[in-house]
Amino acid sequence: MSETALPGSDRPAARNMFAALQLDTRLLGMIGAFVVLCLVFNVFTDGRFLTPRNIFNLTIQTVSVAIMATGMVFVIVTRHIDLSVGSLLATVAAVMAVVQTDILAHPEVLGLGHPAIWVLALIAGVIVGVLIGAFQGWMIGYLGIPAFIVTLGGLLVWRNVAWFITSGQTIGPLNETFTMLGGIGGTMGESASWIFGLLAVGLVLWLQVASRRRRASHGFPVKPVWAELTLGAITTFAILGFVAVLNAYHIPAARLKRMFEAAGETMPEGLQVGYGIPYSVVLLILVAVAMTVTARRTRLGRYIFATGGNPDAAELSGINTRFLTVKIFAIMGGLCALAAAVASARLGFSTNDIGTLDELRVIAAAVIGGTALSGGVGTIYGAILGALIMQSLQSGMAMVGVDAPLQNIVVGVVLVLAVLVDIIYRKRTGE
Amino acid sequence: MSAPLVELKDMCISFGGVHAVDHVTVDLYPGEVVGLLGHNGAGKSTLIKILSGAYKADSGQILINGDEAHIHSPRDARSYNIETIYQTLALADNLDAASNLFLGRELTTAFGFVDDDAMEAETRKIMGKLNPNFKKFHAPVKALSGGQRQSVAIARAVYFNAKILIMDEPTAALGVHETQMVAELIQELKKQGLGIFLISHDIHDVFQLCDRLAVMKNGQLVGTAKTTDVTDDDVLGMIILGKCPPGATPGPGALVEDEAVG
């Protein structure tokens, strides 16, 4: 008893100040772990890990898995699992590749290089993804087949449906505009990135003020002003810092020269142009915002979390939990389609093995990000951070030169340890 | 007398050949508390789950204000202003009090988004009346005590202008103080003209709170009686032996006298 009472009375001031910020301690822990990880790799790679170039690469490598991980949060929160995401990604990538190279690019349809091809292919992919997801959700919700079985079947089925669609061939090269979704081939440039960053800062600060006003208008307790200011400063710094880093990665001089030559101009001597924010990252940010709003501010999200917390209570409250399952898996399918677009655009081709083992990376990202397999708990930002941690771990070890088998052993151990830490954390905080 | 608020007529439901509710008929008038008693597995909870829309009856009729009502889901029951406080409380443990109170009936902003602040404000109002000590508006309900959780479940049932209230063991998990709180609330709701079905194991509670009682055994109705017409022992006899005392109206499940002797 006395032991547990001590830490509270020891430094009450620090604790109150900390509490006033009302931060998510789990998030802080994850960010802390991530920072330590980055610093350790940075030391072992002689400073190569935390360069703009590597941070840029890490970011674009994470996007595909992170997009799917946001959907996996909903799936796991409702006590389901989706093992088919990697295979579904392959099927949708194959569909999008065939649609843009064989169908739309046909001279009688739109013709090669038509500007609408990329978006039509993307829409076709999203429709296919949503339909397949909804179909799997229907089998889970209405036929009562466990999600594990349905999606384990899906893991085999969709991987090989992809094979049939492409007859086992690699399809490509993909439409040029489409490949801009992939990462390095499509970035906003420096000025647009700064504008994007400033808009994001403005939006975040406005939301913070609006939320405070709304709470005050109801007469609820609000955070002290200094706490609000601190939070605002941290988010502003984080967003603009991120933009600055991505802008600091310069397009190689040779490539820049070719770009100028292609435009029929000569490159001024000593010019440096930063890449800026990749479009794939913009897509991830949009997905993250949309999914967070869904989770926190819509009935759908409320019902997802209620069903995860207590399925019986949700049912007794008049929530149609079966249809809810269909919706969740349809969302997952749609996100697989977006991830497929990013992954295939990054390669420039659709290959048969695209997305192999992604189901495990996606589930691991969601779980490392604090999504509980027992249901009811999970956050979108956590899953994205989880994906980033996984990717950093893998590319960091590759940079250090850790043997391939050892890399996988470490990732596996980290996954189990992360869940253990999470369980201990939950027990301590009584959450 | 006018038509009863609720009349459950000849209700039957069976699960895999077991007659959980077997031709039971009970009714409830406005401003009345009817206690449902019986052993575990007597069919009380099943009977009221038919009324609350959680189960669908195999046969029988539900009349509300004399008109036949079709209740196929909890949503239907709510549209007839039937609210239920389940024995398990049916709370989503991971959500806070306001989210639970409005679950399935969220207040939304003009843009269709969930309005958490408005819901919190309403929750603060109603909790101020029901349980002024309640302060944890932001904690998930799993962090609350039994009494606090119970008051969230009660708040959910009374907030939406219920006309018919079903309470399944509302005091089973409560301390003395909270039990008293529930008793006062029932008296208050009675005055407002609500009809209440109260399921309880506690005969003392039933005599204190109920106007009438109905006893079930093995899915059948043993009998109904005004609480003023029977004694504790009579009721115990009904529950344990299925023996209907002189002051009660016997139902199909009442023990016939010569069988009792034999």
Contact check, Cβ <8 Å, A218/B106 = no
Residue B106, C-beta contacts closer than 8 angstroms, at least 6 positions apart: A299, A302, B114, B115, B119
Residue in chain B lying closest to A77 (CA): B94
Partners of A312 on chain B (C-beta within 8 Å) are 88, 90
The chain B residue lying nearest A307, using CA atoms, is: B92
Kindly report the nearest CA distance between residue B142 and chain A, in angstroms: 8
A262-266, B95-99, B114-118, B206-210: least confidently modelled range: A262-266
Q: What is residue B52's DSSP assignment?
A: T
Q: Mean pLDDT, to the nearest integer, of B90-111? A: 91
What CA–CA distance (Å, rounded) separates A72 from A380? 9
Q: Count CA atoms closer than 13 A to A268's CA, side-chain side.
A: 3
Give the pLDDT of residue A150. Answer: 97
Task: For residue A124, give the H/E element and its range.
Answer: helix A117-141
Q: How far apart are the first and last CA of chain B?
A: 41
| Spatial distance between the Cα atoms of B71 and A160, rounded to a whole number of angstroms | 46
Exposure string of A17-29, with b = 16+ CB inside 10 Å and e = fewer, is: eeeebeeeebeee
Between residues B253 and B196, which one has the greater pLDDT?
A: B196
Interface of B with A (CB under 8 A): 52, 54, 73-75, 78, 84, 86, 88-95, 99-100, 103-106, 108, 112-114, 116-118, 120-121, 140, 143
The CATH classification number of B6-81+162-261 equals: 3.40.50.300
pLDDT of residue B1: 56
Residue of chain A minimizing CA distance to B73 = A318
What is the rounded CA–CA span in Å between residue B177 and residue B171?
Answer: 10
| pLDDT exceeds cutoff 90 at B204 | no
Identify residues of A whose CB sits under 8 angstroms from chain B CBs. 214-215, 218-220, 293, 296-299, 301-303, 305-310, 312-319, 376-377, 430-431
Among candidate residues A32, A60, A35, A62, the one with its CA nearest the CA of residue A50 = A35
Least confident of A106-110, A332-336, A402-406, A413-417: A106-110
Long-range Cβ contact pairs of A24-33 (< 8 A, separation 24 or more): A24/A379, A25/A429, A26/A370, A26/A382, A26/A422, A26/A425, A27/A379, A27/A381, A27/A382, A27/A385, A29/A421, A29/A425, A30/A368, A30/A369, A30/A370, A30/A382, A30/A385, A30/A386, A30/A389, A31/A385, A33/A389
The CATH classification of domain A47-186+278-416, taken from the options 1.20.140, 3.40.50, 1.10.3470, 2.60.40? 1.10.3470
Whether residue A12 is predicted with pLDDT greater than 70 in this model: the reply is no
Chain A residues touching B95 at Cβ < 8 A: 302, 305-306, 309
User: CB under 8 Å to A161, separation ≥6 — which residues?
Assistant: A91, A94
Which of A215, A297, A429 best tests the B interface by mutation, with the highest count of B CBs <10 A? A297
Mutate to test the interface with A, among B49, B91, B95, B96 (most CBs of A within 10 A): B95
Give me the helix-helix angle, A52-77 and A225-248, nearest 10°: 120
Say whether A401 sits in a helix, a strand or coil.
Answer: coil
pLDDT of residue A4: 37
Looking at residue A2, its pLDDT comes to 38
What is the 8-class DSSP label of residue B222?
E
Q: Residues B217-242: pLDDT tens digits? A: 888 999 999 988 998 888 888 888 88
Contact B54 A318 (CB under 8 A): no
Looking at CA atoms only, how far is residue A35 from chain B in angstroms?
29
- Closest chain B CA to residue A217: B117
B106: closest chain A residue by CA:
A299
User: Using the beta-carbon criterion (under 8 Å), do A376 and B120 form an inter-chain contact?
Assistant: no
Report the pLDDT value the prediction gives residue A183, as an integer from 0 to 100. 77
For testing the chain A interface, which of B81, B86, B88, B94 should be mutated: the one with the most A CBs within 10 Å? B94
Whether the pLDDT of residue B25 is over 80: the answer is: yes
Using a CB-CB distance cutoff of 8 angstroms, which residues of chain A are in contact with residue B159?
none
Instruction: Summarize pLDDT for A242-251 with one digit per residue, the tens.
Output: 999 999 888 8
* CB-based contact B73 A318, cutoff 8 Å: yes
Question: Residue B258's pLDDT band (boundaries 50, 70, 90)?
Answer: low
- Cβ within 8 Å, pair B94-A305: yes
For the ranges A105-119, B32-46, B150-164, the lowest mean pLDDT is seen at: A105-119
Q: Residue B32 is inside which H or E element, if any?
A: none
* DSSP assignment string, A162-175: HHHHHTTPPB-PPP
| B chain contacts of residue A219, beta-carbon cutoff 8 Å | 121
> Which residue in B199, B216, B219 sits closest to B14, CA to CA?
B219
Q: Which residues of A touch B121 (CB under 8 A)?
A: 218-220
Residue A255 has pLDDT above 90, yes or no: no
Of A218, A302, A314, the CB nearest to B121: A218
What residue in B sits closest to A310 (Cα-Cα)? Answer: B92
Kindly state the average pLDDT of the residues B58-68.
91
Residue A8 predicted with pLDDT over 60:
no
- Report the residue from B95, B118, B143 with minimal CB separation from A309: B95
Helix (H/G/I), strand (E/B), else coil: B198: strand
**Residue A120 confidence (pLDDT):** 93
Average pLDDT, chain A: 89
> What are the chain A neighbours of B105 within 8 Å (beta carbons)?
318
Verify whether the Cβ–Cβ distance A306 to B84 is below 8 Å. no
Closest CA to A162 of A92, A255, A251, A261: A92
**Closest Cβ opposite residue A313 in set B91, B120, B121:** B91
Pairing of strands B249-250, B220-226: antiparallel
- Chain A / chain B CB contacts < 8 angstroms: 85
- Report pLDDT for A339: 97
Residue ranges per structural domain of chain B: 6-81+162-261, 95-160
Closest residue in A to B85 (Cα–Cα): A316
Mark yes or no for CB contact B74/A430 under 8 Å.
Answer: no
A77 CA to chain B: closest CA distance, Å?
A: 11
Q: Token pair of A274, please?
A: 């930063």
Q: How far is the C-alpha of A161 from the C-alpha of A171, rounded, in Å?
A: 15
Half-sphere exposure of B86 (CA within 13 A, CB side): 19
Cross-chain Cβ contact B103/A315 below 8 Å: no
Across A109-257, the runs of DSSP E, i.e. the strands, are none
